[in-house]
Structure 1
Amino acid sequence: MHQKNFVICDQEADYARNLMQMIGGRKELGFQMHMFQKLEPLKKFAEQKPIQILLIGEEYSQEERLEIPAAERFVLVKAEGRYLADEEKELYKYQSVDQILTKVLELSVDKERAVAKTLRKTRGSLIGVYSPIHRIGKTKYALELGKELAEKGPVLYLNLEEYAGGEHYFSKEQEQNLGDLLYYSKQETGNLGLRISMMTGQIGNMDYIRPIPVVQDLQAVTAEEWMQLFEQIVEKSIYEVLILDLGDSVNGLFSILEKCDSVHTLSIEEPAAKAKLQQYTENLLRTGHEKILEHTVQKVVRSRNGGTVI
C-alpha cells in the first residue's frame, strides 16, 4: 500500500515528537510520519514529496502556512474559533491522540476510513499535569499553562496535591475550597456552574478554586467522587479546559490520568529522576494503564536562577 506523508510542524518539539510517535504507531493507517519545527526545511521537503496531511501550529502566520502545499491542512490551535483561510481546518491542540485522529480522518478525503476510526469526543478538554518526580516546578508549569490557554478561552484550574502551597499561589479572599465544591457536586442540584462562578479566584484570565487545605480530607475523597465532579464541570459549566494539578495522594490517580485528554508529565535530566520516570512507566504497564502513555506529553525542565525553564 502506498504510504501517505503525514507532516507535523509545530514549535513545541516535545509535543510534536509525542504526537508523531503516537500516530506513527498506528501502522494500520499507513502514514509516513515527518516532523518539522522550521518552515524552510518543510518547504524543501514539500518540493520533493507530496504532503497528504499537514498539521501546523497557529504560531506560524497564515501566509507562511499557505505556502506549504498539502492535500489536507489542519491548524493546531490552543483555543477554538480562530480565523483561518478557507482551505484550513481548525484542530484543537490539547486533546487526546484518538480525538485528533478522529477529526483528521473525518475531515480528510479518506472518508471511508474515517467512519471505521470514529472515536468518542468529549465536550470539554481535561488536561492532567503530573510527575513522579517532586520539586521540579510542576505547579508553576500547570499555572502558566492554564494562564496561557485562558487567553483564548475559559479555563478552570484545580489543584489536587496534598500540599498545594496555600496562599503562596492562591488568594485567601475566597473562603470556599475544592472540598465545598465536592459537597455541592454530590447534592446534584443542577446549579453547579453557578456555584463554581461564586467560588473562583483568578490568576490572570484563568479561574481557580482553592485547594483542599487538610491532607486527610483530600485523601478521603474517592475516585468515583472525583470522576463525578470532573464530569459535572465539563457538562454544567462554561469552561472549555479543565486543568488538574495532580499529586500522589489523590485516590484513583491512574484512573484520573486515563480519563484526561492529555497528560503533561515533567522530568529533569538527572539519573535519579530518569529512574523514577522509568518506574512510573513500568507501573502503568503492569497495572493495565498503558493507555495513559498514549496521551502523555513529556516535558523536560531545567533550573535557571532558582526558576523552572521548560
Structure 2
Amino acid sequence: MAITLVILDKDPSYSEYLTHYFRRYYNSIFHIVSSTTLVAMNIYLQNNDCIFLIHESYREDWSNEDAEVFWLCEEKNNGERFLYKYQKVDRFIHKILETSQREVDNLSLLKGLKQNIIGIYSPIGGIGKTTIATALTGLIAQHENVLYLNLEPFPSNAFLMNEGNKYNFSDLLLFASRASEDINMLIEKVVNRYETLELYYFNPYNRYEDLLDTDAGTWYRLMLALCHKYDKIILDFGSHEDKQVLTVFNLCHVLVVLVCHEPFAKMKVEKWYNYQQKMSRDLNICWVANKIDQREESQEPSSEYVLELAYNESYLRFNNFEELLRSSLLDKLIPLYLYLEGGESVD
C-alpha cells in the first residue's frame, strides 16, 4: 500500500518539483499530495500512514506532536527529522524511509533510482566497450561523482586498479550477501578514488563465479546503496550474458549498446536485439556506432544512433588513464553525455 506524502513548502515551484519527481519515479511507493497552507493539511492528520514534508519556517505554527513530520531546510542540518532541500531527492527519500522505519522492498526503490545507472554493452567483442566506458566515466567525473564498475568475465581495465587496497569487488559481494552487515561502511572499505576527480572504482573481483553466485536480492541491496552514494554508476559489461548479468541489465536506466557496420557484427547485434524483444525485456537502449570503415566518415549520420564515432586504433593504445583523459575521445563523447543527462540527442 502506498504511503501518503504531504508536501508544504513556502516556494510553490519547489513543491511542484518534488511532486513531479515523486510521481515520476516513486509512484508505486508514495501517494503525493501538495498542500498550500497548514490549515489545508489538517484533513490528512487523521491518516496514520501520512508523512509530512513541511518547510522549517512553519515549525512554530505546527502543533500536532503525533504526526510524522520532516522539516525541509534551506541550510544543511544533520538532525534526524531535518532534510536539506537542495540535496539529491533520492538521498532524502532514503533518510525518510530509514528514520520512519517504513518497509519498502529494494526493487521498488531501485525503480525510482534507475536514472543513476548506465550500462555499456555490446554482443560484439573488441569493439571498444571498456575504452568508451572508461572515457565516459572520466567525462562524467568532471561534472559529478561517478562510480565505474567492471563486470566483464576477465576485467581488462588496468588503469583503474589500486594495489594498496587489499579489498576488491568479490569482498563487497560477499559482504553485501550478509544482510546484517552495514553495507555503507563496507563500501567505504572497498572503494577507491582516482586522485583529484570525483571518480570511484572497485578493484576487480577474484573470479567471475563470484558475480554469478550473487543472488538478485543481494544485487538489489548493493545497487540501492551505491545509487544513494553516487550520482552516476557506469557498468562495463562483457559481451555475453549470464542470468545474474541480466538481473543487473534490468536495473540500468539506459543500456548504451555499441555497434559497427561490419556485416557479421551487424548480424550479431540484430540477433541479440531480436532475442531481447522475444523475451519481452524492457531495455532502454541507446545505440552508439563505432565506425570501423573510415570511408564512412563522409556519409550522413543515421538517426537511429545517438552518437557515431570514427573508429581510431589510437583510442585503444593509451598507456595510462591520464592519457585517456587528455585525449580527443572525451570531447567526442560529449553528445552521448548530454543525451544521458537529458534524454535527447544532440547534433
Q: State the TM-score, normalized to the length of structure 1.
A: 0.54
Answering whether residue 290 of structure 2 is matched by residue 301 of structure 1, we say yes
Answering whether residue 272 of structure 2 is matched by residue 280 of structure 1, we say yes
Q: Could you say what the CA RMSD is over the residues aligned between the two structures, in angstroms? A: 2.5
1:191 is matched with 182
The 3-state SS of whatever aligns with 2:127 is coil
The 3-state SS of whatever aligns with 2:243 is coil
Pick from 153, 156, 160 the counterpart of residue 162 of structure 1.
153
**Distance between the aligned counterparts of 1:208 and 1:125, measured in 2?**
15
The structure carrying a bigger strand percent of its residues is 1
Distance 1:207 1:197, change over 3 A: same
Answering whether residue 209 of structure 2 is matched by residue 216 of structure 1, we say yes
* Aligned length in residues: 187
**Unmatched runs of 5 consecutive residues or more in structure 2:** 1-87, 89-110, 292-310, 317-328, 333-347
1:161 and 1:249 in contact (8 A); partners too: no
Structure 1, 176-185 or 222-231: larger mean CA deviation:
222-231
2:173 and 2:211 in contact (8 A); partners too: no
* Percent identical: 24
> Which amino acid counterpart does residue 252 of structure 1 have in structure 2?
Q
**Distance between the aligned counterparts of 1:228 and 1:197, measured in 2?**
16
1:200 and 1:208 in contact (8 A); partners too: yes
Structure 2 matches for 1:1-310, cutoff 5 A? Answer: 121-122=112-113, 125-165=116-156, 167-189=158-180, 191-203=182-194, 204-235=197-228, 238-247=229-238, 248=240, 250-289=242-281, 291-292=282-283, 295-302=284-291, 303-307=311-315
The 3-state SS of whatever aligns with 1:157 is strand
2:107 is matched with none
1:147 and 1:206 in contact (8 A); partners too: yes
Q: Deviations over 1:261-290 (max 9, x none)?
A: 11111111211111111011011011111x
**Distance between the aligned counterparts of 2:272 and 2:224, measured in 1?**
26
Q: Deviations over 1:178-232 (max 9, x none)?
A: 1111122122346322322222223343100112132333332334432332123
2:5 is matched with none
**Distance between the aligned counterparts of 2:242 and 2:204, measured in 1?**
12
The structure with the largest alpha-carbon Rg is 2
1:222 and 1:251 in contact (8 A); partners too: no
The 3-state SS of whatever aligns with 2:286 is strand
Q: What's the offset of the Cα at 1:168? A: 4.9
The 3-state SS of whatever aligns with 1:252 is helix
